[in-house]
Amino acid sequence: MTRIRLAGRFDNFPPYPLADVPQIKRELIARGVDVIDLGAGDADLAPPPAAVEALVAATRDVAMNRYPFQLGLPAYRESVAAWMAQRFGVELDPYRELLPLIGSKEGIAHLAFAYVSPGDSTILPDPGYQPYVGGTLLAGGRPHAVPLRPENDFLIPLEELPADVVRTARILYLNYPNNPTAAIAPRAYLESAVEFCLKHDILLVYDNAYSEIAFDGYRPPSILEIEGAREIAVEFHSFSKTYNMTGWRIGWAAGSAEVIAALARVKSFVDTGQFLAVQAAARAALETSAEWVPGNVAEFQARRDAAVAALRDAGFDATPPRATMYLWVPVPAGFDSETLARQALLQEGVVIMPGAALGAGGQGFFRVALTRGADVLQEAARRLARVLENAEPDMVTGLQPGR
C-alpha cells in the first residue's frame, strides 16, 4: 500500500456520475449484449461538414500547429462576438470580454480558483452539472446545494436561501435550459437572479450550453441580455451539444472583462489553450450555423417526441421538454433512481442516468439522453417496460416518484 496520502480535499469528493459505466458496457458487449447507451449527452450525430473541412485544412497549415496560448485564434474570437451579437443582441469586445475554452467544462471548473477561497461558499443546483461541485471543492470552498423541485419549476428559490450562505457566497451557478431537468427559466427569474447577485456581490456563472437546442418556437436568452448582468455575470457556451462536437473540446466564456481576465490568468498556469485548428473548425461551425443548426434541432425534436410517446406507452410519466437533449422522468412508485438504472443496465442493457447520481435532489427521477435515433429510443422504452414488469419486491425501496 502506498505511503503517500491523498489530499484532504478528496475526503468528501464525489465520484463522477456514470464513471464505471464504460467498463460495465465493455463487459456486457463482450457477452453479446446489445447495449443502448442513453446515459451521457453524447449524440450519435455528425458534426457540421464545414467544421470537418475547416479542421482538415487547418491542420495542414504549419502556423495552426503551434501553441495557441490564451489568445487563441483571433478569427475565432471575432466569429464568436459576431454570433453573440446576431443571436442575442449582445455586443462584446472579442479580446476583453471573450475567452476560448477547451470545452466549457474546464472553464466552469477553473473559474472557482479565481473567486473561491477556503471557507467561501457557492450556491448551486441539486441535481446539477458536476463541475459546479468539483470546482468549488478543488478550490477549497463549500458547495451549498439547493434542491430543484417540481413545485418551483426546477428553479433555485433565491429568496429562501439562508442568510449565512448568502453572506459567504462568492458564486451562484445557474444553468437554463437545465441539465438534467430540461427546465427553462422565465426572463423575470433571470432578472431577479441578476438583481440578487448585484445586491450581494456574488458572481453569477451562467451555463448556457443548451441555448440552441430548443423546441416549439422557444428561444432561450443569454444572461448578458439582462440589465446589469455585465457587471457580475459570465456565460459559458459549448459546441458539444449544438454541433455534435463533444470530442472536439471547444467552447467559450463571455461577460465581464474582469472575470474573463481572471479566468485567463488561471488557465495560463494549467493549459496552453485549445488547438488552433479546432478553433478554426469551430469558427466555420458558427459561420454556417444559421443553415445547419435548425436541421440538427429538428432531429432532436423528432427523437424527443418519439421517446416521450414510447415511455408513456411503457408506463412512465414522461413530459416533452421545451429545450435540451434530455428527458427528466419520474421514477415509478416502488423504485429509487439507482435501482431502476442498475436493473435497466444489467437486465436489459439500457444505460440511463439515475437522478441521484447528479445530486441528492435528483432522487426520484432518471434522465434519458436523446443520443440515439427514434427507433432505438423506442426499443429502449420497451426494454424499460420489461424492467418494471419483472421487478421483484426485494429489488425496490418504496420511494415515491419525484421525491
Tens of pLDDT, residues 50-62 = 999 999 999 999 9
d(CA 124, CA 362): 13
Residue 100 vs residues 54, 244, 334, 377, 383: alpha-carbon distances, Å: 17, 18, 46, 35, 42
Per CATH, which fold does 49-290 belong to?
Answer: Aspartate Aminotransferase; domain 2 (3.40.640)
Residue closest to 180 by CA, chosen among 357, 381, 378, 375: 357
Residue closest to 140 by CA, chosen among 232, 15, 264, 10: 10
Beta bridge partners of 124: 145
d(CA 2, CA 152): 48
> How would you list the strands of the sheet with 251-255, edge to edge?
98-101, 251-255, 233-238, 203-207, 169-174, 121-126, 142-147
d(CA 293, CA 301): 12
Residue-wise pLDDT tens for the chain (403 aa)?
Answer: 568 888 888 887 777 766 677 788 888 889 999 999 999 999 999 999 999 999 999 999 999 999 999 999 999 999 999 999 999 999 999 999 999 999 999 999 999 999 999 999 999 999 999 999 999 999 999 999 999 999 999 999 999 999 999 999 999 999 999 999 999 999 999 999 999 999 999 999 999 999 999 999 999 999 999 999 999 999 999 999 999 999 999 999 999 999 999 999 999 999 999 999 999 999 999 999 999 999 999 999 999 999 999 999 999 999 999 999 999 999 998 888 899 999 999 999 999 999 999 999 999 999 999 999 999 999 999 999 999 998 764 444 433 333 2
Helix (H) or strand (E) holding 353: strand 353-354
- DSSP-derived 3-state class of residue 216: coil
Q: What is the pLDDT of residue 392?
A: 62
Is-contact 384 350, C-beta < 8 A? yes
Domain with CATH 3.90.1150.10 in the chain: 8-46+293-389
Q: What is the pLDDT of residue 399?
A: 32
Helix (H) or strand (E) holding 142: strand 142-147
By the 10 Å C-beta count (0-12 exposed, 13-18 middle, 19+ buried), 147 is classed as: middle
C-alpha cell at 67: 501553441
Q: What is the pLDDT of residue 334?
A: 83
Domain with CATH 3.40.640.10 in the chain: 49-290
Superfamily of domain 8-46+293-389: Aspartate Aminotransferase, domain 1 (3.90.1150.10)
Q: What is the pLDDT of residue 5?
A: 86
